Amino acid sequence: MTGKERVLAALEFRDADRVPRFWDHFFPEFCLEFAKQVPDVDPMSHFGNEVQVVVADETPWPSRAKVVRDAGDNRVTKNGWGQVQRSRTGAYYSGLLETALPDRADPDALEFEDPLADNRYANRFDALRLGDQFIFCKTGGPYIRTTFLRVEEPFWIDIMDDPAWISVLVDRVVDHIIEIGTEADMYSAHIPSVRT
């Protein structure tokens, strides 16, 4: 059985020759221990991976993503959600310095970049060249994506103080994500995949 056949069988509740393998990453501690046991071998190559998760760039402004300042171990970046973040080399978390919507603004006045632009789907086409991996295409959830614009605490306060406004903002983000998800729909293109 190929990897694609194995994953499809599992999704259809049919018997497969074994459980499909899906490793999206390995913890650094595991990689160190693995290197002691099996030197000069990449864990991903050793164990194999039969699933690839593909996500289009869902940000409203992908062309605005940039490095603002790079000073040794400290880096300040602006992402496609309009967030400016500070990070340090080797640190797991980054610090938020600025957000796209620090105050309530008219959600309908937000001009998002074209959800159908080809540059949003570059990794999708790279995944199609992987061969024997089953491809899952996904989008992010509407609430977490909206908090990227507004930040979590103000988002929850908006729900309490101005539910009509936050509803319009979430709807605006949802409409954007739906267009991206529809464009990235590989099922319609007859590519073996699952819509999640």
Residue 42 and residue 105 share a domain: no
List C-alpha distances in Å: 31 to 20, 21, 42.
21, 17, 8
Q: What is the pLDDT of residue 184?
A: 60
Q: How many angstroms separate the CA atoms of 194 and 7, rounded?
A: 10
pTM given for the model: 0.76
What contacts 189, CB < 8 A, 6 or more positions away?
A: none
Residue with tokens 């001009």: 111
Residue 165 located in a structural domain: yes
Q: How many angstroms separate the CA atoms of 64 and 113, rounded?
A: 10
Residue 88 located in a structural domain: no
Residue 143 located in a structural domain: yes
Q: How high is the mean pLDDT in each 10-residue block of the chain (196 residues)?
A: 90 93 85 93 87 87 95 94 94 92 92 89 64 80 92 93 96 92 60 50
Residue 68 located in a structural domain: no
In the chain, how many domains are there?
Answer: 2
